[in-house]
Amino acid sequence: INTGTIRGGAQPNIVPDHCEADLDRRTLPGETFAKIRRELHGVLAKHSLKAKLIDVKGYTCPALETDPGLPWVRDFMRSARQKKPIGVDYYCDAANLAGAGIPTVVWGPGDIAQAHTADEWITLEQLERGTDMLTRFLLSLP
């Protein structure tokens, strides 16, 4: 859970009478929003906290899980010289494709820590390895 914003109170020298927080809780494969809501209510009750939970506002980040047994996914993994897929803790548009019934994998050269930053970058070596991997994969297709 990421607490992205917190609002409350009227003045710095007055104990606030309310607090609002915007939370970001992403789903994992197999989870539902109902399950997450129950989980949050449980955490609040455990700590004797009261809160009004408001549902997602227009933007969801559905989980992505692609069948690793699909032939093209196996070919992709071989081309990437990776034995099995791994999960990641970030969202990308691939989940929208998967939600439309298009089997999808997320892969890219470089380190996710440098992605989506003001000075995003990869090394030339990472770019070359990525190009080699994609070439191997594309040449493996029937």
Q: What pLDDT, in 10s, does the model give residues 58-102?
A: 567 778 889 999 999 999 999 999 988 888 878 888 888 988 999
pLDDT at 56 over 70: no
| 5-14, 29-38, 58-67, 132-141, range with the lowest pLDDT | 58-67
Whose structure tokens read 């809160």? 51
Please list, in sequence order, all residues whose beta carbon lies within 8 angstroms of the beta carbon of residue 21, skipping any fewer than 6 positions away.
3, 5, 6, 7
Whose structure tokens read 């859970």? 1
pLDDT at 104 over 80: yes
**Angle, vertex CA 34, rays to CA 87 and CA 43, nearest 5:** 85
pTM of structure? 0.66
Percent of the chain topping pLDDT 70: 96
Whole-angstrom Cα distance, residue 38 to residue 41? 5
What pLDDT does 93 receive? 87
* Over residues 104-123, mean pLDDT: 89
Intervals of CATH 1.10.150.900 along the chain: 71-140
Query: For residue 109, which of 93, 91, 96, 128 has the smallest C-alpha distance?
Result: 128
The domain over range 71-140 is classified in CATH as 1.10.150.900? yes
The chain-wide mean pLDDT, for the chain, equals 88
